[in-house]
Amino acid sequence: MRYAVTAALVALAAASPAYATGGYTCRPVSGSGPVVSLGFGHAISSPVFIAQIQEGKRILLASGGAKDPIRIGQSWMDRQHLWLDLVDANATRFEAKLRAAFQPKLKDRPAIGTLVRNGRTYRVRCEES
């Protein structure tokens, strides 16, 4: 199931010509914790257009649908940074905050940083998916 959802995100990104350029999956560096997958594009609007948080078997999706339990509050991606704020459906509280910096000297140029979820901070590594 986990791989099917990530594959669906990548397929959705590939099917959307106005945005589609790729995706990232951000996992805790050590131990367990939430996994954030996202699809991004290079458009004038928000670069991240779909995201999900997976915690065990629970998946929260932000795809812009009216019934999505979370929303993309804001996102930023450039050559140095990958930032993402996910908020609840009413935009009254943060569900997750991702702050990562790309590491051009490391193989495959991952982004390494932190993910804050439910008051806990996780050290994460984000790689292209």
The per-residue pLDDT for range 14-66, each reduced to its tens digit, is: 444 444 568 999 999 999 999 999 998 766 665 788 999 999 999 999 999 99
The C-alpha atoms of residue 98 and residue 52 are separated, in whole angstroms, by: 12
Structural domain tally of the chain?
1
The C-alpha atoms of residue 38 and residue 52 are separated, in whole angstroms, by: 6
Domain membership of residue 104 as a residue range: 2-128
Question: Residue 21: what pLDDT?
Answer: 66
Q: Is the pLDDT of residue 87 over 90?
A: yes
Q: Is the pLDDT of residue 72 over 90?
A: yes
Tokens linked to 71: 């929303």
Question: Residue 46: what pLDDT?
Answer: 58
Residue type, 76: W
Would you say how long the chain is, in residues? 129
Residue type, 61: L
Question: Residue 18: what pLDDT?
Answer: 47
Tokens linked to 114: 């932190």
Question: Residue 45: what pLDDT?
Answer: 62
Burial class (CB in 10 A: 0-12, 13-18, 19+), 125: middle
Question: Residue 48: what pLDDT?
Answer: 83
Rounded average pLDDT over 58-76: 94
Rounded average pLDDT over 94-102: 98
